[in-house]
Chain A
Amino acid sequence: MSQVFLGMPAHAPADVRALHGTQPFPAAARTALADSQLRRNLGAATATIRGKRAAAVAEVDDWEQLRFAGQQIKAATMARLDEHLIRLEQAVTERGGTVHWARDAAEANRIVTELVKAAGADEVVKVKSMATQEIGLNEALAEAGIAAWETDLAELIVQLGHDTPSHILVPAIHRNRAEVREIFLREMPGVDPDLADDPRELAMAARTHLRRKFLTAQVAVSGANFAVADTGTLVVVESEGNGRMCLTLPPTLITVMGIEKVVPSWADLEVYLQLLPRSSTGERMNPYTSTWSGVTAGDGPQEFHLILLDNGRTAVLADDVGREALHCIRCSACLNVCPVYERTGGHAYGSVYPGPIGAVLTPLLTGVLDNPTLPYASTLCGACFDACPVRIDIPSLLVHLRARSTELRAERRLVPTSEAVAMTVASWVMSKPRLFAWATRAARLGRLIARRGRIRSLPPPLSAWTATRDAPEPPTSTFREWWLNGKERS
Chain B
Amino acid sequence: MTTGSARDEVLARIRHALSASPTEPIEPVRGYRRTGQYSPGAPQLLDRLTERLTDYRAAVHAATPRTLVSVLEAALDGTRRVLVPPGLPAEWIPASAVIDDGGMSPAELDAVDAVLTACTAAAADTGTIVVDASPDQGRRAITLIPDRHVCVVRAAQVVQTVPELLSRVDPHKPLTFISGPSATSDIELRRVEGVHGPRTLIVVLLSD
Using a CB–CB distance below 8 Å, which chain A residues touch chain B?
A: 6-10, 41, 44-46, 48-49, 52, 61-62, 65-66, 68-69, 72-73, 75-77, 79-82, 85-86, 95, 100-103, 107, 111, 151-154, 157, 170, 172-173, 175-177, 180, 199-200, 202-204, 206-207, 210-211, 214-216, 228, 230-233, 239-242, 244-245, 248-249, 259, 266-267, 269-271, 273-274, 277, 281, 283-293, 296, 298-300, 308, 310, 314-315, 317-318, 320
Could you tell me if B171 and A266 are in contact, using CB atoms closer than 8 angstroms?
A: yes
Chain B contacts for A310, CB-based, 8 A: 10, 13
Q: Point out the residues of chain A lying under 8 angstroms from B15, CB to CB.
A: 7, 82
Q: Contact check, A299 vs B182: say whether CB atoms are below 8 A apart.
A: no
State whether A239 touches B183 (Cβ < 8 A). yes
Chain A residues positioned under 8 Å from B102 (CB to CB): 298
Most chain B beta-carbon contacts within 10 A, residue among A44, A270, A293: A270
Name the B residues within 8 Å of A291 (CB-CB).
171, 174-175, 177
CB of A153 within 8 A of CB of B195, answer yes
- B14 is an interface residue with CB less than 8 A from chain A: yes
A177 contacts B28, C-beta separation under 8 Å? no
Question: Hey, which chain A residues are within 8 Å of B42, CB to CB?
Answer: none
Contact A10 B25 (CB under 8 A): no
Task: Tell me the dominant secondary structure on chain A's binding face.
Answer: helix
* Residues 23-68 of B at the A interface (beta carbon under 8 Å): 23-34, 52, 56
Q: For B16, B167, B185, B197, which residue has the most chain A Cβ atoms within 10 angstroms?
A: B185
The distance from the CB of A429 to the nearest CB of chain B, in whole angstroms, is: 23
Encode contact with A along B1-22: 1 for CB under 8 Å, 0 otherwise: 0110011011111111110110
Asked if B196 and A314 sit within 8 Å, CB to CB, the answer is no
B16:A45 contact, CB within 8 angstroms:
no
B3, B29, B180: the one within 8 Å of A287 (CB) = B180
A271-B10 contact, Cβ under 8 Å, with A214-B196, A287-B180? no
172-194 of chain B: CB within 8 A of chain A: 172-190, 192, 194
Q: Establish whether residues A100 and B177, one from each chain, have CB atoms under 8 Å apart when the complex forms.
A: no
- 7 tightest A-B CB contacts, nearest first: A241-B197, A7-B12, A241-B196, A318-B17, A72-B28, A314-B13, A241-B182
Q: Are B192 and A200 in contact (CB under 8 A)?
A: yes
Secondary structure dominating the interface of B: loop
Contact B106 A215 (CB under 8 A): yes
Query: Is there contact, CB below 8 Å, between A10 and B32?
Result: no
Task: Knowing A45-B189, A76-B26, A288-B176, say if A273 contacts B110 (CB, 8 Å).
Answer: no
What residues of chain A lie closer than 8 Å to B188, measured between beta carbons?
41, 44-45, 48, 176-177, 199
B201: nearest residue on chain A (CB-CB)? A287
Contacts of B187 in A (CB 8 A): 153, 157, 172, 175, 177, 180, 199, 202-203
> Which residue of the partner chain, among A44, A79, A240, A281, contacts B197 with CB atoms under 8 Å?
A240
Structural contact, B171 and A228, CB atoms closer than 8 A: yes
CB distance from A25 to the nearest CB of B (A): 24
Chain A residues with CB under 8 A of B12: 6-7
- Is A284's CB under 8 angstroms from B29's CB? no
- Interface contact B10-A242, CB-CB below 8 Å: no
The answer on a CB contact under 8 Å between B172 and A95 is yes
* B125:A6 contact, CB within 8 angstroms: no
Known: A7-B12, A68-B29, A315-B17. A240 touches B144 (CB 8 A): no
In the bound complex, CA of A81 to CA of B17 (Å): 10
Inside 8 A of B196's CB, which chain A residues have their CB?
A: 151, 207, 210-211, 214, 240-242, 244-245
Report how far A153 CA is from B24 CA in the complex, Å: 43
| Contact call B32/A271, Cβ cutoff below 8 A | yes
Residues of B within 8 A of A8 (CB): 13, 16
Asked if B174 contacts A172 (CB within 8 A), the reply is no
Q: How far is the CA of A72 from the CA of B145 in the complex (A)?
A: 39
Give residues of chain B (132-176) contacting chain A, Cβ–Cβ below 8 Å: 133, 139-141, 144-145, 162-163, 166-167, 171-176
Whether A48 lies near B18 (C-beta < 8 A) is: no
Known contacts being A101-B6, A153-B187, A318-B17, is A69 close to B181, with CB within 8 Å? no
Q: Which residues of A contact B24 (CB under 8 A)?
A: 79
B17 touches A9 (CB 8 A): yes
Q: Which of B14, B32, B139 contacts A82 (CB 8 A)?
A: B14
